[in-house]
């Protein structure tokens, strides 16, 4: 067979973008199938000598990646590399992976794995779907589905008054669940190449974080709530910043005394981090007296299911003259904003909240900055 008749397994292709740059990608031919790998390498219009040199280096890098892909294919073809298992059923693998991660992640994040699965099965309902079917085109199709067709609550049977598209953050979360699954499949040797490479995810949008002012917390403290236990737990969360999950599971064994102060020693349910939190005298007063309670007994009683709790909180807030969208998590936001407003440095607030990264706490700093700007804008004219 002539050398010219042998199809090159990997080729560098070019695509001109709207801004005039040229995107480089690989066309990979394996076992009669064609796949694409976008390299995120770009040639620029050559207006200067520096542009020419930059393009030369970019092409050299693309050629190096191409050579490596050819070696990978040859190793697989000649048995030096364990054959991939692309006939593995995709949904079986996805379910096994999500169950494996269940113990390590919060219930909310695990719920996102389940929601992503429902959307994946709406996009491609074939139970026989294998990893061989998961091509870059298929992945791009799922992204397009999330962008243009997927609806919030669109995968359940409940009838709703209006149809709403997925939020930007939901799109980001679901697409990244697929990305995690495919990355793990590549590491496990299920697939030879990751079809997600070069396909961009969705950007996220910073949501509005509702919170109560100190005056509003005082107003609610002075107002009756239909469920006294909910009132006690919510005000406690406002003074400590604890999440609902940690308030619910707080036991008397977690409450200690140190140098005349009440300290909580507990493990966060969401992150698993061990926390040591000294609380104020008022927060300790809300805990109450232990009496004959055992170490395993819960500090707080029944605060209902989340939907019931939040509904009771809104009714209670309205009675206190507060027209805000209140949920139990607002207590945590309230604590964070209150601490920063009182002048506590952001690093200390981050530790009090049990945040793993400072950037998570910086969201609250933006709220405080906005309040400062609002205060400055209220200064009256003096001349």
Please count the other Cβ atoms lying within 10 Å of the Cβ belonging to residue 319: 14
pTM here? 0.57
- Block residue for tokens 């005298």: 281
The mean pLDDT of 290-306, rounded to a whole number, is 94
| C-alpha distance from residue 143 to each of 132, 139, 140, 258, 272 (Å) | 18, 6, 5, 53, 32
In the chain, list all ranges with CATH 1.10.443.10: 214-253+285-377
- Reported as a single tens digit per residue, the pLDDT across 92-138 is 999 888 888 766 655 556 678 989 999 999 999 999 999 999 999 99
Instruction: Give the chain's mean pLDDT.
Output: 86
18 Cα distance to chain centroid: 31
Q: Report the pLDDT value the prediction gives residue 297, as an integer from 0 to 100.
A: 96
pLDDT value of residue 5: 41
pLDDT at position 69, please?
78
Cα dist from 88 to 32, 133, 142, 373, whole Å: 19, 10, 19, 57
Distance of alpha carbon 74 from alpha carbon 28, whole angstroms: 12
For residue 275, give the H/E element and its range.
Answer: strand 274-278
Query: The dihedral of CA 315, 320, 323, 327: what is its sign?
Result: negative
pLDDT tens per residue across span 160-216: 456 688 888 899 999 999 999 999 998 888 898 899 988 988 887 666 689 999 999
Residue 122 structure tokens: 């709406």
* Ordered strands of the 10-16 beta sheet: 10-16, 22-30, 33-43
Beta-carbon contacts of 195 under 8 Å, excluding residues fewer than 6 positions away, are 35, 134, 135, 136, 138, 139, 182
Q: How far is CA 107 from the centre of its chain?
A: 12
Question: What pLDDT is stored for residue 154 in this prediction?
Answer: 55
Tell me the two tokens of residue 301: 């009683």
Instruction: Give the tens place of pLDDT for each residue, 341-373.
Output: 888 998 999 889 988 778 778 888 877 776 667
pLDDT of 36 strictly over 90: no
Which CATH fold would you assign to the domain 214-253+285-377? hpI Integrase; Chain A (1.10.443)
Reduced to 3 states (helix: H, G, I; strand: E, B; else coil), residue 43 is: strand
Task: Output the DSSP codes for 129-158.
Answer: -BGGG--HHHHHHHHHHHHHT-BTTTTS--
pLDDT at 81 over 70: no
Q: Does 155 have pLDDT greater than 60?
A: no
């Amino acid at each position: 067979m002539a050398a010219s008749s042998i199809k090159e397994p990997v080729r560098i292709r070019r695509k001109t973008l709207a801004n005039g740059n040229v995107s480089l990608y690989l066309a990979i031919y394996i076992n009669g199938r064609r796949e694409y790998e976008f390299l995120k390498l770009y040639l620029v219009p050559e207006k200067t000598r520096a542009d020419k040199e930059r393009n030369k280096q970019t092409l050299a890098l693309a050629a190096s990646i191409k050579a490596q892909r050819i070696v990978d294919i040859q190793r697989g073809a000649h048995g030096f590399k364990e054959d991939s298992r692309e006939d593995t059923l995709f949904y079986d693998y996805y379910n096994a992976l999500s169950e494996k991660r269940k113990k390590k992640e919060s219930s909310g994040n695990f719920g996102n794995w389940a929601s992503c699965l429902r959307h994946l099965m709406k996009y491609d309902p074939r139970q026989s779907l294998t990893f061989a079917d998961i091509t870059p085109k298929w992945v791009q199709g799922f992204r397009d589905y999330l962008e243009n067709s997927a609806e919030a609550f669109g995968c359940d049977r409940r009838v709703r008054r209006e149809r709403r598209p997925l939020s930007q953050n939901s799109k980001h979360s679901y697409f990244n669940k697929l990305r995690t699954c495919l990355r793990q499949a590549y590491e496990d040797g299920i697939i030879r190449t990751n079809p997600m490479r070069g396909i961009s995810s969705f950007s996220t949008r910073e949501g509005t974080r509702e919170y109560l002012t100190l005056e509003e917390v005082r107003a609610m403290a002075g107002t009756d709530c239909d469920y006294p236990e909910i009132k006690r737990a919510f005000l406690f969360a406002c003074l400590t910043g604890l999440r609902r999950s940690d308030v619910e599971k707080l036991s008397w064994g977690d409450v200690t005394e140190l140098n005349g102060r009440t300290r909580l020693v507990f493990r966060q349910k969401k992150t698993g981090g061990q926390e040591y939190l000294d609380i104020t005298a008022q927060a300790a007063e809300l805990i109450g007296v232990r009496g004959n309670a055992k170490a395993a007994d819960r500090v707080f009683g029944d605060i209902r299911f989340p939907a019931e709790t939040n509904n009771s909180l809104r009714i209670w807030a309205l009675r206190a003259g507060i027209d805000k969208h209140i949920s139990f998590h607002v207590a945590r936001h309230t604590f964070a904003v209150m601490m920063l407003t009182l002048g506590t440095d952001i690093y200390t607030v981050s530790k009090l909240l049990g945040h793993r990264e400072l950037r998570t706490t910086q969201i609250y700093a933006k709220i405080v900055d906005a309040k400062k700007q609002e205060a400055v804008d209220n200064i009256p004219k003096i001349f």
